[in-house]
Structure 1
């Protein structure tokens, strides 16, 4: 049986929540993030994107592009609350869910009650809009790479299906930067020898991929031919809990990276508290634009699920790192667990 994979992605999530909670912001260019000049944009409404504003852009640059925009401080507690409602709906569709972040996930609905991806996507969109008040874009295909590509096709509030008979023709016009696994540095190298589109790359022999892209070359070769065998990974392993994100723009700005670590630390802390467990090993992982992975860990002499404890270690690790090239992915993991001890108070 051919797999049915959905990639669901909330539309301009943080900004949409702000517009949901404050009707006066509807239709306005809303920019969410740090409000100081050293802050960065977390996300922005589609009205703001028309001015060239995007995630991870410094706030001072955003203000130059859109001085009349409405700049709002991040309210992570509220976004988490809305996210939980959305994920509760997704879990009614299938238990095979791989959360990627607070506002996106992969779903494998192959063995669900839905007969096809369109039926499941319409159900999700109806429930999310009716019960949460927000729109969501959904890509449907037979693997993760194509499903994620499809979810971005008709944003906002879109549905797109990519089937096997569309491959490779539907991919050929795309710029190579759209291929999952090709970082900024690899794209630049390929551009320098005249390869700009998937069509340009598709025509190259298999040996070329290995020579230019190393051990990831064969994955890229398969991917642009519609082959991606990665499973939707359900988070069941209690040996560690973590969050990571591939950045929309590679960066070596430590202030920006610390903002991600802060958000991840808060998410992990809330999850550990919910599960009534504590850990003492905190690991920061990052991957550079040349796909070099680095992990740095610190083990505390006490167990914790406290946000401040987790973030303090992350901050210490990152500040001690000498970052020589831009980073494309960053993440945090907490491990070495024990169940939290709960002291029962007596009246006397």
Structure 2
């Protein structure tokens, strides 16, 4: 284990805690490898002769308020353990004593996390279709969870959700010139047309292909990365998935997987139709939600760029995101402008 990872994981404390939680002294010493691709919290696979587990912790450096919330991630995954939504088992949840920052350890769900290419076992038109069905059906399952019955009634504040979300992400713009003018215009146009919103649901907050572990047959093994989960308008989740879901001829986005343009994958219209049929949700104002998804993802990209520049991403570099941010602002403005 190199010095940088040791500093992030405090193995002298973490090892004994793992041994105690998992009931196996083999965990007293372990190896750790950063799982690359995560753009917010840091994710490590820990291995010993007893097997493997996964640890999640915040990035280093200053953190945005309400982001990188480990307790939020653990709470929702524990609550979903007995539902139709597949999630990893939570093995350790710690508020900061263990490695110096809040973290949690979960079971290592084996399967495929698809980013920029499909593994051979999933690379066929029929399996691609099944992957799309898995993604949209699982999103519908998340939104249909009876959140109060599973202990998540206090997981968010649905009242005024869209207004607060817009205010939260707009607040990161500041009043300087660090962001494109079109991004400021998009925020203003969104604010003029905020929908009333639909019935509250449990939201994932960043639902996309590479946040779902897939089994060999294209079905879902686990939904990951719940740090942005809350209660609110489910169309925000759907619209963000549609942004990530690239079709033939779409401009690729550097931060998202680009495989859904391949033959066999659903079109965005097909995903919307299937989601509406399963949930009964009115999708008549979906264009506003799509515009908001573009705005939100532009702000996420800006935050990632700032963390990389500050050296807070354990050496990961996602390239120059300036062009992506400008494109997202322009595409969002097209969807919401009169």
Larger Rg: 1
Flag the structure with more relative contact order, 1 or 2, with Cα contacts below 8 A and sequence separation at least 6. Answer: 2
Name the TM-score, length of structure 2 as normaliser: 0.25
